[in-house]
Structure 1
């Protein structure tokens, strides 16, 4: 049945001495205000960004593979989630499922939240038990910055594959303007969105976004609903000092679909829309972020920024998660009756100082900073769980059933994690064409874990240190050649949810060598990038062949190429294309199978495709009509480290058209999976595939006033 949407109320590789200030161009922190919400933001290789450095460098000046995705690009390319948007950039693929909040990603051969970090407005939410549930709604997003490859020198452990920084919409100075969207589409999908902002007075400006969605789902019994709210107020105390208070909230009940089971190892299209979960399933996420940001220009050469933030997440699952085929019975056995609650709180502060100065008589920019976080993570669950006997169901006519378990849900663990970091970056202009970009970071982590079942306690301190150095040679003003060496660290699991048996392990170590080219041409109407990388990650957990206990002796390598091109062609054609080739493998990796070590050396890690590609082509017809079509390609991926099970590759085509009916009214139509391709979006297990959405439409009306 259709549900009416109810609108909630809106109410030292750097300078070892203090830098000597000189009359060089001032380094100002990027402003959080924009001038006009109607002007589409354009980000190219020459645009200063925080994607690959806090030094406010452009992509041409940064020795790393980075990209930025604007709000207009997200909307133009039919991206329903942040993950949809990110995976249209080079080499990033989606591997999410309900267990990780539907937000998991793979980059450069490394997978999951332990190696691909997500930030919100530069702040990191520490992932617990592999799950992160915010942000997912692109309506509140101004821009998404992606830095590929190890970035622990910028953001700490857990960033070997990539870092995704989601930047919310900011207040702007100017006339108050509003954007209202109404949308309706396949399976009763509904949207009501509002975006409002502008100046309230000479010194006070604001931004408010609200997006509420609901739908019945393309899989049986997968109703969903969500609310995303973002509110920010900026006070300009003076020309040199500003304060921004922001609060974001997300409430979500996503489609509770754990995948389509394989029958004798084979996919059956007749099961594509069947739901094998229980009738009283639960999947609810509540997230809140509150931030106070202070930007201060102390002098013409010194700037400071501080961000104080509080993050809260509440999550609840109650499901039967696994469905395996019993050939003898010719039925599915429904298993893993799990109930889990997460209660997570994080408070943190990040302080930075930026300097323009002379170093060894050369122009230089330096940033130094410190960051502190305290994270409390509480888990209630029914682990270890007893399913209360076998539950067999007909694959073609599955009985919904009810949640049942012999194991009570109870408080399990409470961990408190303290993290403290010191970091610094520098850009030294060695000559008119050559610059050196360096960075260093030192992390201290202390974890205290209480077992609330047996009252035992464990604690561990983990130290980390990372650095990078890169050279950028400006062949011309629009062509840069770069090379960099960087290091990174990941935990053997998420830091805030390490089990006692994992606490004595050290952080894994990774190092990367990267070379690349970036160029703007045709007077800025075209640009292309090319990057080649080699990553080695050590200290993976492997099984000791004698004791069968895990030890840190494994190694994984990843080599690859990434290329992208952006073209503004004649006759108002726009082309965006990228491709990536990754060869990742375990060099030394043993895992226990039924108590026996099995070598996986030479195998490809699970959920890592070798080839990916994206294409989007759009055309404007005068000032009133714009149409676009795009394709996304993902190669075959293995579902396990043994490389015995795999999911087929796919190509999915999307299209849209927009019509400016009146100066303030725009009509839009999005068509996703145009050719109704049955494809595997991600692999939940070797016996369950999370299938992609069938062909669908979504119509919108946008009114600006």
Structure 2
């Protein structure tokens, strides 16, 4: 259950930015995105020939640079850590249009998304939620406020999504004990290229994407990506729409100097569905098509991002980089979010009348120097940022109503609690890091790095006038050794540390004054191998993570919360891809995680031995692709094991397996039509839990898309 007392009200609904204005902006943005895509589709395109690259000739995952997992230039095969991802080509093959759908195809990553956490909440290696599994774009994270991450939402415009598993504080700072998902943008190129996506499907789903790159004169190149989608959803008030525009300009005045400018805007109006009531830990199937929210409910996220980066390759041994950025996010919730089903009366009691708003702004600078003395690659740098968080709400969220369970009259918002500014907070961060990759002979690579983070937090309660100041510091490090057994195989071992906040750093409360960052340590060993002739690869990783100083109850005073608890996890992850022949390709992964609380008291109740909420023991993905001439058939299975909805392990959500399929036809060298079927077996399953209700996964759907490259 989400603690609503830590979520704060919406700047988006302030007198300066009412929800209607933001909704109009979202509609205008989507029209702006869809109009050029439709217009472009009507143009006569020049005849071109596109030659498809066979999978066996494509770069292997382990051959790529570990861009999201190391500050230095090291291949994934050599890296003493577990990192993998999904490329734009794979996302297109699987028709994964959302970041959540695409990222959870990777090994061991499952989603626990819901509207309250922004939709980007994951579980990895036994640790779950936005305060333990981070989300970054091109290596930079927006500060997490009240456990909410909402960007990036769609996968359009990204070259790949990388997942670094285990503590990632050396790379990304606090809040990354389980993993970090890093979205890597497509970059400007001087050679002209363009792509167009048009799609329509079940329940009024429509989507369009446009991407273009090329040269402007002798020294400038650009990249533009626009995307919009909408859907009516499966139940009343389940409609959603979103749009975004991503733009990039690259200036190369000299061969050794590159300057990049990016400017993005994203507007999301997700579904206003807050789950289906349960009875005795079971979904009431007869209610799965119902929505008990109010008719004038609102849910809206808007993000704006600007970045200026420069790289100077001084010589073959020294490179200097700098990135200056500004991020902002406005978010608004106005919903009834709690539903209790009364089977005898055939009614649903509604509670938690929440109106909440966030306004987040973050300005920062990242400076880095890379040099290569002898057999070393050394990277060092300094991160500095300041984030401001303004919150509004109608706390204490009182109010209640009762509606028919089967024929609800949704009604309208009638909370008597005033929607007011509540808190204003500021977080200043400074971090210094250094990493070294030392090549010892032809077969050994020793990597080590250390990072020190300093956080200064201040908070003002706008109602009581009470102020809070807090300093939090932490050091993280990683030490790993890789032994290359052959040209195509390696074995590695590493020890790494990290730190998580006990709650979101930008929304610390007065009750958290005495808390420090929770510290964790991981031991990991692994094996990576490429198959002959580029036909595939496989990896294996064994890990053990212990996280200390989680919040527990004081044994001497059960009503008092202190730090001193501990949770741990250990497990095995396997992933591989294999081209059986030119026509048939398999991709598969599986993970087993044994996670538990080692020390945890809640009042006088001992939770030691329980599994953390939203953590499945087993996850697996399988994709098979078969090609005949201009046709390709793809069949995919996603399995997520049973999870507990609470740390008391009193409510268990059953595991599920979903079957998806894509049938594609290359109409000509530049156009591909795809027929997409999702949840073909019509499985009823829960993705996450909130209050006394479960969020249900999407029913069977069919969609037809067209992709054009020119």
Q: TM (normalized to structure 1)? A: 0.92
Q: How many angstroms apart in 2 are the aligned matches of 1:111 and 1:67?
A: 19
Asked if 1:531 is matched to 2:531, the reply is: no
Q: How many angstroms apart in 1 are the aligned matches of 2:690 and 2:224?
A: 36
User: What is the deviation of 1:123?
Assistant: 0.8
Instruction: Return the match for 1:310 from 326, 347, 350.
Output: 326
Write out aligned runs for 1:382-421 (5 A). Answer: 382-387=394-399, 390-421=400-431
Q: How many angstroms apart in 2 are the aligned matches of 1:408 and 1:117?
A: 33
Q: Is the 8 A contact 2:520 2:546 kept in 1?
A: yes
User: What is the deviation of 1:202?
Assistant: 2.1
User: What is the deviation of 1:693?
Assistant: 0.4
Aligned to 1:577: 588
Cα 1:131/1:296, change in 2 over 3 Å: same
Aligned to 1:381: 393
Aligned to 2:181: 164
**CA offset digits 1:596-629 (Å, max 9, x no partner):** x31100000010000000000001212x211101
Instruction: Return the match for 2:473 from 463, 469, 472.
Output: 463
Cα 1:274/1:327, change in 2 over 3 Å: closer
Aligned to 1:598: 605
Instruction: Return the match for 1:127 from 125, 138, 144.
Output: 144
Q: How many angstroms apart in 2 are the aligned matches of 1:487 and 1:264?
A: 40
User: What is the deviation of 1:327?
Assistant: 5.3
Aligned to 1:664: 670
Structure 1, 322-331 or 471-480: larger mean CA deviation: 322-331
Q: How many angstroms apart in 2 are the aligned matches of 1:677 and 1:696?
A: 12
Instruction: Return the match for 1:366 from 378, 382, 389.
Output: 378
**CA offset digits 1:443-464 (Å, max 9, x no partner):** 1000010101111110101111
Write out aligned runs for 1:212-361 (5 A). Answer: 212-326=228-342, 329-358=345-374
Instruction: Return the match for 2:568 from 530, 533, 557.
Output: 557
Q: How many angstroms apart in 2 are the aligned matches of 1:270 and 1:559?
A: 39
Instruction: Return the match for 2:654 from 634, 648, 658.
Output: 648
Structure 1, 410-419 or 664-673: larger mean CA deviation: 664-673
Structure 1, 324-333 or 248-257: larger mean CA deviation: 324-333
Asked if 1:494 is matched to 2:504, the reply is: yes
Structure having the higher helix fraction is 2
**CA offset digits 1:286-309 (Å, max 9, x no partner):** 001111111110112000111111
Aligned to 1:7: 32
Q: How many angstroms apart in 2 are the aligned matches of 1:665 and 1:436?
A: 47
Q: How many angstroms apart in 2 are the aligned matches of 1:61 and 1:375?
A: 36
User: What is the deviation of 1:264?
Assistant: 4.5
User: What is the deviation of 1:102?
Assistant: 1.1
Q: Is the 8 A contact 2:66 2:79 kept in 1?
A: no
Q: How many angstroms apart in 1 are the aligned matches of 2:314 and 2:611?
A: 52
Q: How many angstroms apart in 1 are the aligned matches of 2:278 and 2:518?
A: 35
Q: Is the 8 A contact 2:457 2:469 kept in 1?
A: yes
Q: How many angstroms apart in 2 are the aligned matches of 1:684 and 1:575?
A: 36
User: What is the deviation of 1:49?
Assistant: 2.7
Structure 1, 48-57 or 367-376: larger mean CA deviation: 48-57
Write out aligned runs for 1:502-517 (5 A). Answer: 502-517=512-527
- Give the root-mean-square deviation of aligned CA atoms: 1.7
Aligned to 1:698: 703
Q: TM (normalized to structure 2)? A: 0.92
**CA offset digits 1:8-45 (Å, max 9, x no partner):** 4779xxxxxxxxxxxxxxxxxxxxxxxx9987774421
Q: Is the 8 A contact 1:159 1:488 kept in 2?
A: yes
Q: How many angstroms apart in 1 are the aligned matches of 2:343 and 2:674?
A: 48
Aligned to 2:553: 543
**CA offset digits 1:122-142 (Å, max 9, x no partner):** 111111001111001111211
**CA offset digits 1:352-384 (Å, max 9, x no partner):** 1101112xxxx1110000000100001100112
Aligned to 2:85: 68
Cα 1:244/1:43, change in 2 over 3 Å: farther
Instruction: Return the match for 1:485 from 495, 508, 511.
Output: 495
Q: How many angstroms apart in 1 are the aligned matches of 2:271 and 2:651?
A: 26
Q: Is the 8 A contact 2:51 2:669 kept in 1?
A: no
Cα 1:479/1:264, change in 2 over 3 Å: closer
Q: Is the 8 A contact 1:678 1:691 kept in 2?
A: yes
Structure 1, 220-229 or 581-590: larger mean CA deviation: 220-229
Q: How many angstroms apart in 2 are the aligned matches of 1:198 and 1:657?
A: 31
2:62 match: secondary structure: coil
Q: Is the 8 A contact 2:365 2:383 kept in 1?
A: yes
Q: Number of matched residues?
A: 666
Q: How many angstroms apart in 1 are the aligned matches of 2:709 and 2:619?
A: 37
2:279 match: secondary structure: coil
User: What is the deviation of 1:196?
Assistant: 0.8
Aligned to 2:453: 443
Aligned to 1:33: none
Instruction: Return the match for 2:123 from 106, 126, 129.
Output: 106
**CA offset digits 1:420-451 (Å, max 9, x no partner):** 00001001122321111001000100001010
Q: How many angstroms apart in 1 are the aligned matches of 2:232 and 2:100?
A: 21
Structure 1 unaligned spans of 5+: 12-35
Aligned to 2:464: 454
1:124 match: secondary structure: coil
